[in-house]
Amino acid sequence: MINERNLPILATLLVFIMLYGFGMYEYKGFRDTLVFSNLLTDNAFLIITAIGMTFVILSGGIDLSVGSMIAFIGVLMAYLISNTGMHPLFAIGIALVVGVAFGAIMGVIIAFFEIQAFIVTLAGMFLFRGLAYLINLDAVPIDHPFITGLYDIYVPLPGRGGLTFIAMAMLVLLALGILIARRTRFGMSVYALGGDSHSAALLGVPVKKTIIKIYALSGFYSAMSGVIFAIYTGSAYPLAAVGVELDAIAAVVIGGTLLTGGVGYVFGTFLGGMIQGIIQTLITFDGSLNSWWTKLAVGGLLLFFILLQKGIVYWVKKRSAA
């Protein structure tokens, strides 16, 4: 059923199909499944980060720490594997626990001291970047056989494409995110909080508990993204993923989530991340444009979606007043 709540995500889907259709029409190489599977792999870490960000933005908050978290987790993993000789599986486990813990700490500060998420996560952003440098100043390779083994897992698809481990992990995390958002009480509490936090409290939503869980979840997803990023690049670098938090926010908004919270879908975020990837791929296929055109296109799309949402909100208000 088409209702006003689904309009933004439908617009996102339309933009996705149009861009992809344009690519298939214009370039022969675009029609191969390889392009699609590469999109999944190359944008996996961005989409995973953005899924966590979706919950934060749905609740009316923001998390600026995710980019630094990716770098920090990567460096931490590299340290644990190379310097202590730990098995990568344990290292990943520890990295995830650390990510969740740091997210939860930020959540506690936001919930109990009632400080804006913007400033708390900004502090987190500097802090994690600093911690990454504390461990390691330079880029280091992660060349454990287990990691390269993961990287090499590959399920071929018809055509030249195939699903990498990274792509599959992203899809699993996407499915998990969709389930959490729409099929758990926690998920509905997130929507309620973003819709109207005062009413949510009166309706019996455990506000503080939910806020802490939201940032812990975002911590989990960005730590996961850090792990994926480390496998993807096979290295760790304290300056990695600078500005990814902003790309993630852009993916969430282009995916149709209302920046003021309460309305949006995790699947939209997936499309939002993929759209950014398609734009990049199209520019690569073109060959005559430099990569900064990506930023231009993403900026334009972002503006379009924000205006679209404003328009819808205005329209709904006008209709319910009549």
Instruction: Note the residues at the interface with other proteins (CB under 8 A).
Output: 1, 3-5, 179, 182-185, 188-189, 191-192, 194-196, 198-205, 258, 262-263, 316-317, 319-320
**What's the closest the beta carbon of residue 202 comes to other proteins, in angstroms?**
5
Q: In sequence order, what are the residues at sequence separation of 6 or more whose Cβ sits closer than 8 angstroms to the Cβ of residue 228?
A: 44, 45, 48, 166, 169, 170
**What's the closest the beta carbon of residue 221 comes to other proteins, in angstroms?**
20
C-alpha span between 17 and 40 (Å, rounded): 15
The alpha helices in 164-291, defined as continuous H runs, are 165-183, 185-195, 197-202, 207-233, 244-254, 266-286
Task: Give the pair of three-digit tokens for residue 214.
Answer: 């939201």
CA nearest to 19, candidates 235, 228, 285 = 285
Task: Give the pair of three-digit tokens for residue 182.
Answer: 């729409």
**What's the closest the beta carbon of residue 62 comes to other proteins, in angstroms?**
18
**What's the closest the beta carbon of residue 184 comes to other proteins, in angstroms?**
6
DSSP state of 263: -
Task: Give the pair of three-digit tokens for residue 299.
Answer: 């900026």
Residue 24 or 313: which CB sits closer to other proteins? Answer: 313
DSSP code per residue over 71-135: HHHHHHHHHHHHHH---HHHHHHHHHHHHHHHHHHHHHHHHHS---HHHHHHHHHHHHHHHHHHH
**What's the closest the beta carbon of residue 192 comes to other proteins, in angstroms?**
5
**What's the closest the beta carbon of residue 105 comes to other proteins, in angstroms?**
26
Residue 194 or 273: which CB sits closer to other proteins? Answer: 194
CA nearest to 151, candidates 138, 168, 174, 172 = 168
Please provide the size of the chain in residues.
Answer: 322
**What's the closest the beta carbon of residue 206 comes to other proteins, in angstroms?**
8
How far from 26 is each of 31, 229, 231, 282, CA to CA, in Å?
10, 31, 33, 10
Q: Give the other-Cβ count within 10 Å of 77's Cβ.
A: 27
Residue 46 or 266: which CB sits closer to other proteins? Answer: 266
**What's the closest the beta carbon of residue 179 comes to other proteins, in angstroms?**
7
